[in-house]
Structure 1
Amino acid sequence: MSSEITRQETTAAIEVVPNVIAGEAVTTGAREQVLNPYTGEVLYEVPQAGEAELRRALDAAVAAFADVRRWPAHRRASCLREASRLLRERAEDVALTIAREAGKPLKAARVEVGRSAENLAFAADAAADLAGEGLPLDASVYGEGRVGFTVRAPRGVIAAISPFNFPLNLALHKVGPALAGGNTVILKPAPQTPKTAVILARLLVEAGFPPGAISVLHGGADLGNALVTAPDVAMVSFTGSPQVGQAIARACGLKPVVLELGNNSANLVDEHADVDAAARLLAVAGFAYAGQVCIHPQRLIIHERVYEQFRATFLEAVGTLKVGDPLDDTTDVGPLINDAGAARLNAWVDEAVSFGGTLLAGGHAEGRLMPPTVLEDVPEHAQLVCNEAFGPVVVLQRVDSWTDAIDTANRSRFGLQTGVFSTYLPHVLQAVRDIEAGGVIVNDTSAFRVDQMPYGGVKDSGVGREGARAALEELTYVRSVVLR
């Protein structure tokens, strides 16, 4: 009897993170538990949304869209600016939530919250500046006597599916521009990070958006498929794996999508670079948030004339990184998000070594903690080179010319962002011209991003662009108007 009471009391003490539908907390009988990635303790129970909850969220979003699509730009911008202000007020609490449920080092979670507040402000600016353009109809002999212009029109209900690694800011890259354009949103967050999404939805309603404009539904692949294929959904914005992105694109048919997918970011170090500075920057960026960043430096391609110098400085800098508790302000590298990720990386490291690669630092994960791991002489067909590691693993590659470095970078099915380190302008311009990626970052790492810049990839890294203004163009459409 006493053990049964203890179990009941323990269950009762676990926080429940509900779905949020039109401002209402909604629970269901089907629940999943979310574990702290570092300690393994149960953080929450999360009610899983089903067909009925999706239908309620869709109905609320459609009804709210009839209202917000007619809001003037200044009203949408004002609500987004208020949301930015509220987020800054609550920054530390939100950062702690991110650190606990995503396992992100607290100092990095604080940066994410700061960027998210900026992101909301950028979305407000984009809302205020949203405009069409004049059409010179009389450039055609058949267009005389007419005046033409375009307006940007909202698409409707947006399905936003966000990942665990930036549970606030990457959700906002979808939700912020969608609301800025007069749309409504149903957000399906990653199962590991439900509470951050709920905080965001409640904050946006508090800032002035109608409750039906933003709902949050928790669930897995079945919910995701039902959401993206729902006829009431006008567009899908997804961040995640290429495999899931391709499945969404097939399921959506002619429905427009924005897909921000994977990468195995190349970073090129020229013989004409500040080699030590490049090595130190890449040592930090290569292992930030345990490498669980889609633009984390994974393939470091170094000119042979500076390879030994780079390797020595890089390994020295890597050796100073602290692995451990994400709530410790001094931690640089926290846990991997789950056991499956740790097992996969262990297997990929073993494969690389079996193919002739040399382990220079780190090795295997113990539990979910994996030390910063560095290899060299790994062949290009190894998983750690040809696929996305999404973990604290970096591979050093040696090349004998700048052209070879660019060609090596391009031998990838991905093309999101590439870092280029060189002080020789012709080499910089060659890289900008020839690298196949959505972004080329010069004298900084591939991981550099600020949230107003257009961001997205080519090849298997996805389609469409994020960043407030670029995303707003994706999440609205051009309507041509002709007056006679």
Structure 2
Amino acid sequence: MQDPEPFLVGGEWRTSPAVLDVTDPYLGRTVASVCLAGREDCNDAIHAAESGFEQMRDLPAYRRSECLIAMADYLEEHADEAAELIISEAGKPRRSAEGEVIRSADTLRVSAEESRRICGEILPLDWTEGGEGRTGYLYRVPVGIVLGITPFNFPLNLACHKLGPALAAGNACILKPASKTPLSSLFLGEAALAAGVPPEAISVVPCLSETAEAMVRDLRISMVSFTGSPEVGWHLQAAARTPRVGLELGGNAAVIVHEDADLAYAAARIVQGAFSYSGQTCISVQRVLVHHAVYEEMRLLICERAASLVTGDPSAPETDVGPMISEFAAMAAEKKIQEAVDAGAVCCTGGIREGAVLHPTVLENTDPAMGVNATELFAPGITLTPYQTWAEAIALAAETPYGLQAGIFTNDLTRIHQAARGIPVGGLIVNDIPTFRMDHMPYGGTKRSGFGREGPRSAIREMTEERLVVINQRVGP
């Protein structure tokens, strides 16, 4: 076994006696060890970021853009290495891992573009008496130090969604990666230094949860950007000393398929959105609502496609569905599925677990109170439910504490507008699945799914603040 990987503090690679083993979810073997940052290391990271922020704030937009473009170039030049890291630590199937590297480079390039577009506004103040000769100028300025806390499911791209906009806006950034997938973020730290980012402006600190919470509570942190579970996210929001907390949390996304939909296309997209990366995506398809007139046809189409997916070794090019992040996670999902079956649900296909691999599962005859509907399954499983009217479908889709994204398949403009008004989500995807996301689009949720928006342009707005300058153009002495 090679020496433990160091972590990054203000451009300095450090080691520590505390070590975290990184485990391959499919084979169950240790693929690397990573040194854990302690309280003192994280304090040093914040101290370095104070200086790094001053440097980033003074960098002109074109230099920030050049750094981000160079980071994207680095990722593309080392794409095979990055994909192997994602496969080994996250268990992501090869095609999906390679796609994530491409998306990560795109996220950085979009951030580079947006770094040149942080515009202001001129505000005439002579609307009323007393404002003569005065003009207001609205600027957006960086907030300071951004603490980005990332999950395991997109270990590289979601780190880019924190770091890219933070640097584009002129902030310093500290990344705290998920304990199961720290290698991708450390790789991104290498890319940042190679690209010429001021060293003090970037730290990557794998650490214990209590150490991360101490950073969240630190007054020097200007913004916390968190992606992960609702329980942890809302806890950190309450603990933070800054009011700037962005939360991108979970969901149990619904899809409505009406009778006028292209059923074959809808079925193909639903299977793609439900079982990609074993359903471990916060906008993974979970609840499928189908008009009663086409329910049987849709059930057959979805089950046939789900049963044909190749499960197993994520490193094999032909694999569609690999392992979940751990056998424990697969067992937890299997338990929810079994509880639903015990309560009367019917398993149409799947329901089989082999270690950390849970086969694509389709359930019907469920009710909204079952865990497979009422909670985030975060696994390769969906429920099918028939409905009679469009109003009923909207009500069922909205019957959840979450509100990240939803999908509808219909060609009726009136129904589309009714769904947009009636389903409280951050994004409604028409004639496609809620799993659809382009990295430059605004992305975030409502209710228990969090608040704030990601996507470089939206995130830059979250990571800057508006400053008003009023100029009095006095005439005379």
TM range (shorter): over 0.9
Which residue is equivalent to 2:451? 463
Aligned counterpart for 2:298 among listed residues 310, 325, 338: 310
Q: Return the offset for 1:103.
A: 0.3
Q: Once the 2 structures are TM-superposed, how far is the Cα of residue 220 of structure 1 from its aligned partner?
A: 2.4
Q: 1:408 aligns with which of 389, 392, 396?
A: 396
CA shift at 1:435, angstroms?
1.4
* Partner residue in 2 for 1:273: 261
Letter in 1 for 2:255: N
Match of 1:437 among 425, 435, 445: 425
The alpha-carbon deviation at position 87 of structure 1 amounts to 1.2
Deviates most, 286-295 or 246-255 = 246-255
Q: Are 1:15 and 1:43, in contact at CA under 8 Å, matched by a contact in 2? A: no
Within 5 Å, which residues of 2 pair with 1:22-41?
22-41=10-29
Aligned to 1:94: 82
Per the TM alignment, residue 142 of structure 1 is displaced from its structure 2 partner at its CA by 2.6
Q: Which SS does the other structure have where 1:192 is aligned?
A: coil
Task: Please tell me whether the aligned partners of residues 264 and 295 of structure 1 are also in contact (alpha carbons under 8 angstroms).
Answer: yes
Partners of 1:128 and 1:427 in 2: how far apart? 39
* Residue among 132, 135, 139 paired with 1:147: 135
- Pairs within 5 Å for 1:329-408: 329-408=317-396
Q: Secondary structure, in 3 states, of the residue corresponding to 1:138?
A: coil
Q: Does 1:158 align with 2:146?
A: yes
- 2:18 is matched by which residue type in structure 1? A
2:183 aligned counterpart, secondary structure: helix
Structure-2 change in CA distance of 1:396 and 1:477 (3 Å) = same
Q: 3-state DSSP class of the match of 1:17?
A: coil
Cα separation, 1, equivalents of 2:54 and 2:167? 13
Q: What CA deviation, in whole Å up to 9, does each residue of 1:349-380 have, x standing for no partner?
A: 11111221111111132210110011011111
Q: 1:299 is matched with which residue?
A: 287
The letter for the 2-side match of 1:267 is V
Q: CA deviation at 1:162?
A: 0.3
Task: After TM superposition, give the deviation of residue 72 of structure 1 in Å.
Answer: 1.0
CA contact (8 A) 2:408 2:432 kept: yes
Normalising by structure 2, what TM-score? 0.97
Q: Distance in 2 between matches of 1:235 and 1:249?
A: 11
Task: Give the deviation of 1:315 after TM superposition.
Answer: 0.7
Q: CA deviation at 1:64?
A: 1.1
Query: Deviations along 1:290-335, whole A, 9 cap, x unmatched?
Result: 0000000000011111100100111111121100111111100010
Give the share of equivalent positions with the same residue, in percent. 42
| CA RMSD after TM alignment | 1.0
Residue aligning to 1:169: 157
Residues 407 and 433 of structure 2 are in contact (CA less than 8 Å); yes or no, is this contact kept in structure 1?
A: yes
TM-score by length of 1: 0.96
Q: Which deviates more, 456-465 or 349-358?
A: 349-358
Question: Residue in 1 aligned with 2:475?
Answer: none
Please give the per-residue CA displacement for 1:207-253, whole angstroms capped at 9, x wherever unaligned: 11111111011122112211111111111000000000110111015
Matches within 5 A, 1:150-299: 150-299=138-287
CA contact (8 A) 1:374 1:393 kept: yes
Shift of 1:202: 1.2
Amino acid at match of 2:365: D
Separation of aligned partners in 2, 1:81 and 1:381: 48
For residues 157-183 of structure 1, give each alpha carbon's deviation from its aligned partner in whole angstroms, at most 9, with x where no partner exists.
Answer: 111000110001111111100000000
Structure 1 residues 433 and 451: alpha-carbon distance in aligned structure 2, compared to 1, 3 A threshold: same
457-466 or 425-434, larger mean C-alpha shift: 425-434
2:463 is matched with: 475
Mapped contact 2:327–2:357 kept (Cα < 8 A): no
Aligned to 1:129: 117
The 4+ residue runs of structure 1 with deviation greater than 6 A are none
Task: Report the AA paired with residue 227 of structure 1.
Answer: M
Any gaps of 5 or more consecutive residues in structure 2? 473-477
CA shift digits 1:46-67 (9 cap, x unpaired): 2111111011111111111111
SS in 2 for 1:328: coil
Taking the aligned partners of 1:273 and 1:142, their CA distance within structure 2 comes to 60
| Higher mean C-alpha displacement, 43-52 vs 443-452 | 43-52
| Cα separation, 1, equivalents of 2:254 and 2:284 | 9
Is the 2:291–2:388 Cα contact (8 Å) retained in structure 1? yes
For residues 138 and 17 of structure 1, what CA distance do their matches in structure 2 show? 60
Structure 1 Cα separation of the partners of residues 258 and 214 of structure 2: 48
For 2:393 and 2:241, how far apart are their aligned partners in 1?
38
The alpha carbon displacement at 1:136 in A equals 2.2
1:17 and 1:194 in contact (8 A); partners too? no
Residue 23 of structure 1 and its aligned partner are, at CA, apart by: 2.0
How far apart in 1 are the matches of 2:327 and 2:411? 42
Measure the CA separation in 2 of the matches of 1:386 and 1:308. 24
Structure 2 contact 174–205 (Cα < 8 Å) conserved? yes
* 1:125, distance to aligned residue in structure 2 (A): 0.9
